[in-house]
Amino acid sequence: MESSYLNDLKMDSLVDLLKATYALEDWDKMIEIADKLYHSAQESEENFRIKRSHYERHIVYYIGYSQLMKGIALQNKEQYSQSKELIERYNDLSWLDDGSKEASEEIAFFSMFARANMLAVNVLEGNLEYLDQYIQFLRESRIDELMPGLLNIINSSLRYDFEIDDLLDSFRHEIERAIEYYKHKRALYITKVLYKMSIYYLARNKNHVAIDIILQGLELSDILNDTRAFIKFTVIFESTRKKCNEDQQTRYYQIIDQLLKEELSNEENVFIRDGSFLPC
């Protein structure tokens, strides 16, 4: 049942709420909010020109975005056929074209996303005949589009057991650039990619490669204050500790030691030396 508080939110507020809910990976709530946004946009469509000053974007955006985000939520719930139905809807929003440049740009924007997301869903379903097209699309994409795409490929690889070592290696420089990009934006998506990459390499018995990625993920999740990711990387490191080499063990202890010092920096009468808590 739709939460009553959504009825009081304007469309731009619903867009912001959808973005926040996506970050929390609350797929059911995303579907609820997306449905509310879609119905609100439909109700506003007839009088949109009169009320245009009330909204930040063209009506095409609100209808397209509601369908896009609902489709992404369904994709993450592995409801692929329903997700494809939504993709078909926002692939062609020409029925909303009022001849304005803004409408035309929004229609083209969602059509581009539809192409990418249809390829993604097919790959996630295990239809690997679409993989090469998807990879080529990602090579032409911006970094903030590349990382979700790589995550989709890694997830498909884990489910359907196909190798992507060469593919990941071919994107190595882009992944390095993406890490800096996401650090600058204080965005959390990159930790999801690194975590799934570590799972992939562990599944392929490439333990040292996986552990290096886990340690990188630990450092990055601390920088980004991504507590959920930090816990996941810590747990997976502890589960693979016996497979670490000496340098990896040392690096892990250095990370934890630095974090302890930071956490206790404001504590009175306590300091750490050689891993021991000592009174001042």
pLDDT of 85-144, one tens digit each?
Answer: 999 999 999 999 988 999 999 999 999 999 999 999 999 999 999 999 999 999 998 888
Instruction: Kindly list the distances between the CA atom of residue 221 and the CA atoms of 150, 151, 182, 190, 218, in Å, as whole numbers in the listed order.
Output: 19, 17, 11, 9, 5
User: Are both 120 and 1 inside the same structural domain?
Assistant: yes
Total structural domains within the chain: 2
Tell me, yes or no, whether 274 lies in a domain: no
> Which of 76, 97, 125 represents a domain boundary (last residue)?
125
User: Are both 20 and 120 inside the same structural domain?
Assistant: yes
**Tens-place pLDDT, residues 152-202:** 999 999 999 999 999 999 999 999 998 888 887 766 788 999 999 999 999
User: Are both 95 and 189 inside the same structural domain?
Assistant: no
- Residue 276 bridge partners (DSSP): 273
Tell me, yes or no, whether 279 lies in a domain: no
User: Are both 191 and 121 inside the same structural domain?
Assistant: no
Q: What is the pTM of this model?
A: 0.85
Angle at 116 between CA 176 and CA 14, to 5 degrees: 90
Q: Token digits for 152?
A: 């989709």
pLDDT of 81 strictly over 60: yes
User: Are both 78 and 197 inside the same structural domain?
Assistant: no
User: Are both 13 and 92 inside the same structural domain?
Assistant: yes
pLDDT of 46 strictly over 70: no
pLDDT of 1 strictly over 60: no
- What pLDDT does 267 receive? 57
- What pLDDT does 171 receive? 93
Tell me, yes or no, whether 156 lies in a domain: no
Tell me, yes or no, whether 268 lies in a domain: no
**Which residues, 6 or more positions from 6, have their beta carbon under 8 angstroms from its beta carbon?**
14, 32, 33, 36
User: Are both 25 and 80 inside the same structural domain?
Assistant: yes
The mean per-residue pLDDT over the stretch 73-83 comes to: 96
Q: Tell me how far apart the alpha carbons of residues 193 and 213 are, in angstroms, rounded to a whole number.
A: 10
Tell me, yes or no, whether 144 lies in a domain: no
Range of the domain at 29: 1-125
Tell me, yes or no, whether 242 lies in a domain: yes
- What pLDDT does 229 receive? 92
- Tell me what the pLDDT averaged over the chain comes to: 88
Tell me, yes or no, whether 215 lies in a domain: yes
Tell me, yes or no, whether 2 lies in a domain: yes
User: Are both 180 and 252 inside the same structural domain?
Assistant: yes
